[in-house]
Amino acid sequence: MISFQEAEIRSSIIKALAHPVRLMIVDLLQSGEKQFSEINSAFQLDKSTISKHLLVLKEAGIVSSRKDGHDMIYKLEVPCVTDFFGCVTAVIENNIRRQQVCLFNP
């Protein structure tokens, strides 16, 4: 069993991912480093909103950044974080199967 402190740390990382825009940013960065302008252009949101989401991900240790001229370059610090998406998809698919069984076998 994990300690409460470790559970809190894990929870803070999961909370950082717990927003649709941040999940989409992580998915976008899965293919490699991106300039801020590339990330920003993927959304119809203010630059400041995207910056705030990137900051949350950065503070959680999920992404890192470096300056390149006038732009910031972002990358996944630990690319295996996207493995979590596969697990989430498996839970979704399992829930759908369970619901279908309930619908067809009342």
Residue 106 has pLDDT above 70, yes or no: no
Nearest-CA neighbor of 36 among 77, 75, 73?
A: 73
Could you tell me the CA-to-CA distances from 21 to 42, 67, 99, 105 in Å, in that order? 10, 22, 28, 37
Domain carrying residue 21 = 4-104
Number of domains comprising the chain: 1
Q: By the 8 A CB rule, do 82 and 30 touch?
A: yes
Nearest-CA neighbor of 38 among 13, 63, 83, 72?
A: 72
Q: What is the pLDDT of residues 29-80, one digit of tens each?
A: 999 999 999 999 999 999 999 999 999 999 999 999 999 999 999 999 998 9
Bridge-based pairing state of the strands 34-35 and 71-76: antiparallel
Q: Residue 78 belongs to a domain with what CATH number?
A: 1.10.10.10
Under DSSP, is residue 28 helix (H, G, I), strand (E, B) or coil? helix
- Give the pLDDT of residue 47: 96
Q: By the 8 A CB rule, do 28 and 75 touch?
A: no
Confidence of residue 105 (pLDDT cuts 50, 70, 90): confident
Mean pLDDT value of segment 9-19: 94
